[in-house]
Structure 1
């Protein structure tokens, strides 16, 4: 069944202030308990310890007895879990597409897989099953060790069997590519947030069903976010663009427009994002984010200018587009509104600071989007998390109205340089009366000042990002 035309809306980080209650000053209980022990609705934001599950230990191997060769054993494993990044033109710092490339790296490879730093997969496997998990099993780690210990033999190419790679890291097709109108050289320090207003060429309702960012200067691009701007808001954003010379205009936290509490369309609809470690890909089959004719796209690029070696950048974004979908979707952004106004302090000298927030979004979903009816259940297909460099761990859960808990995403070892969305093997249903809970932990032991929510790399955030549709 194809859903008739509906105008999608989403709040960005800065506009979550409009739609949720403030945080409680009460200390937050452990996950799954309410602050009064009853499970009643409410939110909480705390600085505590012990609220998140302990960090995992991914080290260790098991013994294996095998005549291990590159082509028969290592090559399929590497192609499944490593080559997606480690190939020319991708994020990996070196290529691993052939025996001649892999052999000199053998000691580094076995060390990385035994320590659990590679392949990078930061979701807790005990939380739930995800699509495309590249993690190596203990037996596979032992296989890598055996190959190295036995002399890293190449073997017979005829013994190679291609792996089953079920999670492509690129769009199945590119229907539209939009580049920055001209190269832009960052000017502000230590961070330069620049928004670029781009034309949306389609003259009928369409649905974005896949997204890819194409960062030009990888060393200084911190993130890229694409927003759809509704036709009635285009003039406001055009004025912002016209007011500043050169390409684009300065923006922070969102696409830059004025936020009207009575009009949720005053903020852009999040279409897709990229941060270091992120991948491109199609959205779940049969779903897509609606974009109206007459819309424009704002591409926000965050440049971390503290890295030096600044170069003109002309990044781009690419979309897979469908004329109709079975279920219109929305990127649901989740954070405590009080955090954004200074309510997320991370004191200097503190090695473990935790803030958490929970609430039932179905109570105010009409302020976020109209693709999900207010007071109705919805489906969550994927989860992503965003913090900055002080982040240690994060947890996203559904606290059920019956007192049970469903884990959506656990990140036991946060890595700012490797951020991605994790698609669920099966969508998760959120029911009215449940709470969507987010908890983050930071380490500011080495800091000399309190850190709070902010857009800069040296500031912090705690943001959950969910891809959702009506049930």
Structure 2
């Protein structure tokens, strides 16, 4: 029996103890092609390509480090807090596979396992748009210095309202463009802010400089545009400006960008589309405070379908959480970002819209670190920080896109939401009930006709 002992010992060991290490061709290339090469390829915003074994092998330890720390690929939403389309999060198995490959010396593997290089669309991903809006002039960026945020009005010659179900941003210079947001401006403010500038743009770090009449779309490298169902296409009324907010990252040399936006038309929708804005302007963070909490909430005044969410803050924010407290007492997590990074903000779209019944309370909680231990804190030593749109300020905002049963529901829905927003805009200690007679808003009615709080905003 003793002569079988070595065999029994070997059989008891895990098969992985004798398995070959992962190779680039068989194991690593599929991960990189699926999650990384949309940005890490020539002409894109990433600083180096990851298309070949040579590209990846010389950076194997770096790739292993940033993927293990979940710095790359950039996906900030935590699992279990919203089921989002286009998720770029690596699985634990994929991360461990990269670790083993790097430790083994980054072997290339059998050439027969080599995958063809990924193909990327050259042109409009949604097909030829019905209308293309292009920057009137190219924006010129300096070779170095801090990132820049520029807003531009895209010229349109509309003579009537239009409806769009597809919006596709096409960067003119992918090396420069970090991300972009597309707003609607019905006030004419953006045109005034851009007047007199050589390229038709104006600086807009925090927000676009006006109260948006809507948000059309957002773009970041690797994002895939989608076509909305025709029954909830978005309206662009006659006289409304389309405004781009673009985040530019200098490349080390002078560069130009002249980006475009493609619009896919739709028939008039049958359902209404609107936005809910969760925000709290009562921000006053003392220098050195490592855990400043801002809260806000609103009550949904009627049944809606939630299709997307976009959290926003500046450099001091560290955590963001938004939940839906349903009338039956259950809590649905909408998003949780544990390591907010202003440079990697984005829009998150749910795989399937979430039903939020009338009376649902949407609650926001953001955490800020104004201490010297926050690597994103630009002030040394830290200084007092209050609400505002400049770099030195902070914000606490979440934009939520919703669909209503009919177009006729939109005006009253927006009016009911504005009444709740008013509470956040009044001085501390005041409420809408303190307004003069004749302008006091009624409480929002929840299930069963019971009054529910209009807005709860607390910061501490």
Same fold (TM over 0.5): yes
Q: CA deviation at 1:180?
A: 2.1
Aligned equivalents of 2:166 and 2:193: distance in 1?
28
State the secondary structure of the residue aligned to 2:62: helix
Q: How does 1:218-367 map to 2 (within 5 A)?
A: 224-230=180-186, 240=192, 244=196, 246-248=198-200, 250=202, 268-274=213-219, 279-286=223-230, 287-301=232-246, 311=254, 313-324=256-267, 330=273, 332-336=275-279, 339=281, 343-362=282-301
* Cα deviations by residue, 1:391-429 (Å, 9 ceiling, x for unpaired): 100001111122221101100111122112222222111
How far did residue 216 of structure 1 move?
Answer: 4.3
1:143-180 CA deviation, whole Å, 9 max, x = no partner? 22232333433233443578999xxx984335143332
Which stretch of structure 1 is more off in the superposition, 240-249 or 421-430?
A: 240-249
Q: Which residue of 2 aligns with 1:81?
A: 35
Aligned residues: 373
Instruction: Return the offset for 1:229.
Output: 4.1
C-alpha RMSD over aligned residues: 3.8
Matched residue SS, 2:217 = strand
Does residue 133 (structure 1) correspond to residue 78 (structure 2)? The answer is no
Q: Is the 8 A contact 1:330 1:468 kept in 2?
A: yes
* Structure 2 match to 1:58: none
Counterpart for residue 393 of structure 1: 319
Is the partner of 1:465 in helix, strand or coil?
strand
Which secondary structure state, in structure 2, belongs to the residue aligned with residue 357 of structure 1? Answer: strand
* Larger Rg computed on CA atoms: 2
Uncovered stretches (5+) of structure 2, i.e. residues with no partner: 1-15, 373-380, 406-460
In structure 1, the gaps of 5 or more residues are: 1-62, 260-266, 363-375
Q: Which has the higher contact order (CA 8 A, sep 6+)?
A: 1
The residue number in structure 2 matching 1:150 is: 104
TM value normalised by structure 1: 0.68
- Map 1:46-125 onto structure 2 (within 5 A): 66-67=19-20, 68-125=22-79
Asked if structure 1 preserves the Cα contact closer than 8 Å seen for 2:151 and 2:243, the reply is no
Q: State the 4+ residue runs in structure 1 displaced beyond 6 angstroms.
A: 161-165, 189-192, 307-310
> Bigger shift: 325-334 or 390-399?
325-334
For the 8 Å contact 1:284–1:381, the answer to whether it is kept is: no
Partners of 2:311 and 2:73 lie apart in 1 by 19
Q: CA deviation at 1:135?
A: 2.1
Cross-structure match for 1:414:
340
**2:155 aligns to what SS in structure 1?**
strand
2:285 aligns to what SS in structure 1? coil
User: Could you say what secondary structure the match of 2:385 adopts?
Assistant: coil
CA shift digits 1:282-326 (9 cap, x unpaired): 25444432123454323345679xx89795754424234132265
* Secondary structure of 2:133 counterpart: strand
Matched with 2:411 is none
Question: Is 2:373 aligned against 1:434?
Answer: no
